[in-house]
Each structure stands twice: as structure tokens, then as C-alpha cells.
Amino acid sequence: MKFNSEDYLEDQLKKQFDQEVKTTCKQELNRQLFEVSEELEKKVVCRSIEALQQMVRQQVLTYADITECFWNRAVRLQEYNAVISLNPDVVKQAEKLSYSEEHGPLYGMPVLIKDNICTEGMPTTAGAAVLQDFVREKEAELISNLKEAGALILGKANLTEWANFMSTDSSNGYSAVGGQTRHAHGRFDVGGSSAGSSVAVALCMAPVAVGTETAGSIIYPASQNGVVGLKPTQGLIAQDGIIPISVTQDTAGPMAKTVKDTYALLQGMTTLNEELPKWNVTALDACKVGVIDNLELTDTYRKEDERIIEEAEEALDEAGAIVREYSVLKEALTIDYLPVLKHEFSRGVSRFFSEATDRKLTLEEVITFNEEDMEERAPFNQELLIQSVADKTTPKANQKRVDANCDKARAALDQAFEEVDVLLTLSNYATSLYVASGYPAVTLPGFKRTSGEPVGVTLIGQEGQDVRLLEMAYALEQAISHHVE
């Protein structure tokens, strides 16, 4: 079934809602609630990082109060299966923190981490039964960076198992360990693979969350659940400590309710060489925006997509942008990166676990483990694992394919950026452009179908200009907010 087709979406809804798989592998939260007043919870939940920091500064509440509120929210909403595990030490860690003007915005803020990113003292499962108790001694570099910024690791978010590279017949948001992640707003496709991160942010289980992307895994679920998601420039965030699919395309990225909070999380995950952002509603004034109108892309439009594009163009006009339709080089929209992922997956997993001190693992062993009880451990099959192990492509041939894909995507984008400042599309419709090139993309909430299903507007920016992209995204975010009122 073709992605985004009616058949594909109906099949996903059946899997996620009507035929939900429940197995004994699923890990329950089983956590107690903290004693938090309803009044306090109302002050904390769904507030921006800036608002939370202001209340701590004014001694209205403490970092421990904030953490307890989000902990309780995650426990109360556990039927959404957005969170696999909570950090039992997080409140004690929060109690040791106090406000200072010298601290950055992320200091004392609870953060949820997608469960394919290694975190000290907590299992990192990738949603797979075989990894249910896997704890890597060395945590991911991005986690160390977050802690250095004062962030608190609230817990681990659910995901489509193996970051959605297990089966082409998978259910978005399902993992053996985490169960089926439910959409935040209704009977809609939750998206994947960063389903738990997006749903948790949408339902205010954490102010921000970290997702990962190889080919749409931040942008699509963020779009589907009505939150902001940034796929950063490739290489901006270290891959160290992330269970891999593809060394070529893997990256972590921030997810939040607002562009400002997305930036705050990005700033804590890595070192940014760009100037500090200027949050200005006029950032799009006289900015040239190209709305991608290739037939290869518009043919995948769902009902109402044209209306949503028109509304986005109206919001851009109101923000002072110069909007035009733009056709990118069509070969960049049909890039086949699947062979690259299949080649790099098995090798990457073997390399990743060879460096683990207490657990050596290969995909062959994962396959064998699952085959012992497919109904419980791999109910949607595991043909991508098998195909990755069977791949006979040489590293030289794979690199040739990587270079060819990258050249096509960069040629299309570089040519476009000679004429426009930023490109616009919906959701993850132009995934091949930004994943094969390594260029950044950010999706913004605000628009909905008549059914209530969220649809994200996605901006694609120039390499290494993530902050500039977020500045434009902020201006569009404000314009959309005013436009849909």
C-alpha cells in the first residue's frame, strides 16, 4: 500500500484501534502518583518553558513541583502508551535544583527521551522484547549535554519498534515493550516512529521530548499530533548512543508545543554555532517562500490538503512573505534510500552492541529470538530485519548510492535556494529532499482537517541554518495562530 493513500491510512487505523495487539511483553508503568494539588497542576501542565521558569523565579513553585506534575500526568494518561518508563530518581534530582539567572532555559525542565537513546541507569529498549533489560553503561552524548544544561530526564518515550525499521506491515507507534501508542486527539494515525514523544508533548506529559529521525520519524508524528518537530541539519547532533538504523540519515531532534521551546531543547542537545535567535514576528517579511508543487508530491495529497496549503499561503501573505509555487528537480522526490538503510542497519546494530560492555547483540540473534515466539515478540513480522541481514551490498557500492542520493537532493535544494529563502510543504511529503541531503526541516501545528486531524506545515531550510529556519518558523507559527482564530 502506498504511504498516505486511503488504503494505507485505513489499514493503520484498523491496527491501531480495531485490532490492537496486546502481548505479555508490554511493560506497565506501575508508578505511584505524587500528592499534587489540582491548583498546582493547572499552573504547570501545558505551560511553556519560559512561563515555568518565571514561576520558579517568582517562587510560585519549585522544579520538584514541576517534575511531580508532569510525572503524574504521564501516569494518569498511561492508556495512551506514550511513555515506556519513568526515571525513579527524577524528583529527588529536581529537589536539588534552585533557580539562578545564570542558568539556561532548560535548567530544571523534565524531558522525555525516545527509547532508542541510551540513558544512564535506565533500560533502552527500542521497543523490542530482546532489549527489555538492556542498560548501556555509557549514555548518549546528547543526554550528557542535556544534563549539563540542567535538564531532568523524566523517562523514556514509546516508539514504533526498532524506529519503524522492522516491518513494512508495522503499526505506527507499536512496540512489543511499549504497546500501541494512541493518537493524542482521536481516531487518527499516530505516525511514527517518534510516536510516544509527539503524543507525550501533545498531551502535556512533558514540556519537551526528544525524537529521532531517519526518514520522517520526527516530522510525520509531530505533524499528526499537532506539535512542533525539528529534523536538524545532519551531523548537528551526535549519533553516539542512539541505537542505529543508518549512519547516513539518523539524527535526534527536539519536539515541543512551540518553536521557542523546540529551540530551547535543541540548544541543550548540542553546541550551536549560529547566532542567538531573534524571535520576531517580522522574520518572514519580504522572505521568499517556495511552495513545492511538483506533481510527484501533489499526487500524494489527501482530501483537504489543497485547502490547507491555501490557508498556509494566506498566513504567509499576512506575515509579509513573498509566496510562489515552486517545482524542485523531480528526481529528488523519487530518491530510493531504502537500500541504504537495509545495508547500514545490520552493520550499525552489530557495531553499536559490540561496544556495549554487558551485551553483545546482532540482528541475526534478534531474528532468532523473535522467531521463538512471533505472536508475542514480532506480531507484524520482521522482514526488514531479515532483509538487512541478507544484504550483500559492498560498502563501496553503498557509499556510491549514498553519494548519488545526496547529490540529487542537494542539487534540487541548492537550485531552489538560489530563488527562494525557504521551501514549504505539508507533513513529511517531501522527506526524500531533506533526509538524503541532510538539510534541516521543521513542521508546525495549527491546521486541521474537518475531522479534527492535525496537519503540520513543514519548512525546509538551508544546511547549517537551523536557527534561521526556526526564526522563520516562529514568525509563521504566530501568523498561523492569528489566521486560524
Residue 106 neighbours by CB under 8 Å, 6+ apart: 49, 146, 149, 150, 151, 264, 265, 267, 268
pLDDT at site 465: 98
Nearest to 27 by CA among 184, 243, 176: 176
Is-catalytic flag, 42? no
Contact 248, 340 (CB under 8 A): yes
Strands 251-256 and 228-231, bridge-based pairing: antiparallel
DSSP state of 127: T
Separation between Cα atoms, residue 84 and residue 29, nearest integer Å: 7
Q: Is residue 144 a contact partner of residue 118, using CB atoms and an 8 Å limit? A: no
pLDDT at 298: 95
Peptide bond into 144 cis (omega under 30): no
β partners of residue 175: 179
Cell numbers placing 281: 514576528
Grid cell for residue 210? 526528544
CB 80 within 8 A of CB 181: yes
**How far apart are alpha carbons 237 and 270 in whole angstroms?**
6
Strand partners, 231: 441
Q: Give yes or no for a contact between 235 and 212, defined as CB atoms under 8 angstroms apart.
A: no
Q: Is 172:16 a contact under the CB 8 Å cutoff? A: yes
Q: How many CB atoms lie within 10 A of CB 336?
A: 10
How far is residue 379's CA from residue 167's CA, in Å, rounded to a whole number?
10
H-type alpha helices, 77-151:
90-95, 141-148
Annotated catalytic residue: which of 193, 194, 197, 432? 193
3-state SS, residue 304: coil
Q: Which residues, other chains included, contact 410 with Cβ-Cβ below 8 Å and sequence gap of 6+?
A: 437, 439
Model pTM above 0.85 = yes
* Structural contact between residues 65 and 8, judged by C-beta atoms closer than 8 angstroms: no
Could you report the average pLDDT of every consecutive run of 10 residues in the chain (485 residues)? 88 97 94 96 97 98 98 98 98 98 98 98 97 94 98 98 97 98 98 98 98 98 98 98 98 98 98 94 97 96 96 97 98 97 97 84 97 98 98 98 98 98 98 98 97 98 98 98 80
How many angstroms separate the Cα of 14 from the Cα of each of 194, 428, 462?
20, 22, 39
Q: For residue 362, what pLDDT is reported?
A: 95
Is the CATH number 3.40.50.970 carried by domain 9-483?
no
**Per this entry, what is the length of the chain?**
485
43 carries an active-site annotation: no
Q: What pLDDT is attached to residue 428?
A: 97
Cα 126 from Cα 158, distance rounded (Å) = 8
8-state DSSP, 119: B
Q: Which amino acid is at 224?
A: Q
Which one of 175, 194, 217, 432 is the catalytic residue? 217
Q: Which of 382, 108, 139, 98 is nearest to 240 (CA)?
A: 139
* CA nearest to 459, candidates 229, 208, 192, 190: 229
Crossing angle of helices 363-371 and 383-390, in 10° steps, is 140
What pLDDT does residue 485 have? Answer: 66
Indicate if the alpha-carbon torsion angle 148, 152, 155, 156 is positive or negative. negative
**Cα–Cα distance between 445 and 456 in angstroms, integer?**
5
Beta bridge partners of 441: 231, 460
Please, are residues 462 and 415 in contact by the beta-carbon 8 Å criterion? no
| Catalytic residue from among 15, 85, 114, 231 | 114
DSSP result, 332-390: GGS---HHHHHHHHHHHHHHHHHT-SS----HHHHHHHHHTTHHHH-TT--HHHHHHHH
Give the tens place of pLDDT for each residue, 401-447. Answer: 999 999 999 999 999 999 999 999 999 999 999 999 999 999 999 99
CA quadruple 265, 270, 276, 277: dihedral sign = negative
Contact assessment for residue 337 and residue 432, using Cβ atoms and an 8 Å cutoff = yes
Q: What is the pLDDT of residue 4?
A: 84
Q: Answer for the pair 197, 45: CB distance below 8 angstroms, yes or no.
A: no
Element spanning 471, H or E: helix 466-483
The reported pLDDT for the residue numbered 238 is 98
DSSP annotation of 233: P
Active-site residue, 330 included: no
